[in-house]
Amino acid sequence: MKFQQIRGATVKITYGSGIFLVDPFFAAKDKYPPLEAGPFPDKRWPTVNLPMSIEEIISGIGAIIVTHLHPDHLDEFAVKALPKDIPLFVQDETDATVIRQYGFEDVRILSYSGTKFGNITMYRIDGLHGHPETTQKYYDAGNLRETASGVVFEADNEKTFYLVGDTIWYEKVDEAIKKYRPEIIAVNGADAQFADSGSIIMGLDDILQVCKAAPEAKIIVTHLDAVPHALVGRKEVNELIAQHKLFEQIVVPDDGEVCHFEGKE
């Protein structure tokens, strides 16, 4: 398996017989105005540029996964740039309807019971994109769904991989780790928040919960240093690693970096 950090939640994954582009977000640095309800109301976003050209990012991909339809996971620039005939996986029919309206011709829905692609089986895992009682008003204001998902990947020649997606730590994540016993886990760990929403994705405490729940797994921390409502970046995650001596367990790739993981023995 190869895991290439692109920017934010956008990653490129080579797994089994497939090369997947996950959550394509292609806007140039500072393209979007600040999030007034966020902790940094003067910060435009994305806060950094892509580390390579869009053509290089797209090169070689065999499928796309969009975990949910928030703009930092699929934006107008990605919609314009991506080939419309490539298989594109989404969490449910509601998202599929929107994606088809963008012109994508081969939209497929990830199943809880497993969706096949080549020699790979992918399982949809529910996420909790913040507690509804404090976050729903922000999603409603932005005309956004609160529903977000993760994906577990399995293939005969690969270690089981869990792409956790935009969620805080809660029972469904714990259940997925117990059920699938992933050996590699990618955590969206920027602790994004709005004014009084609390965390809407994992932060430092959540990362520690994942490490505790899967002590033998390699943990990749992604979705860092790209959006304006994040409270955690690579600096804070690396400090956490040093504090808890998690040097062998946690990986924090830079934008553009490729992490290699051996397959099953």
Dump pLDDT digits (tens) for 172-205.
999 999 999 999 999 999 999 999 999 999 999 9
Task: Give the three-class secondary structure for 100.
Answer: helix
- Residues 58-111 have pLDDT tens digits of 999 999 999 999 999 999 999 999 999 999 999 999 999 999 999 999 999 999
Q: What are the residues facing 184 on neighbouring strands?
A: 161, 218
Separation of alpha carbons 143 and 138, rounded Å: 9
Element at 96 (helix H, strand E) = helix 93-101
C-alpha 142/C-alpha 56 separation (Å) is 31
CB neighbours of 89 closer than 8 A, spacing ≥ 6?
63, 64, 65, 66, 108, 109, 110, 115, 117, 122, 151
Report the share of the chain in percent with pLDDT over 90. 99
Look up the CATH architecture of domain 2-260: 4-Layer Sandwich (3.60)
Distance separating alpha carbons of residues 251 and 103, to the nearest angstrom: 36
Indicate the pTM of the whole model.
0.98
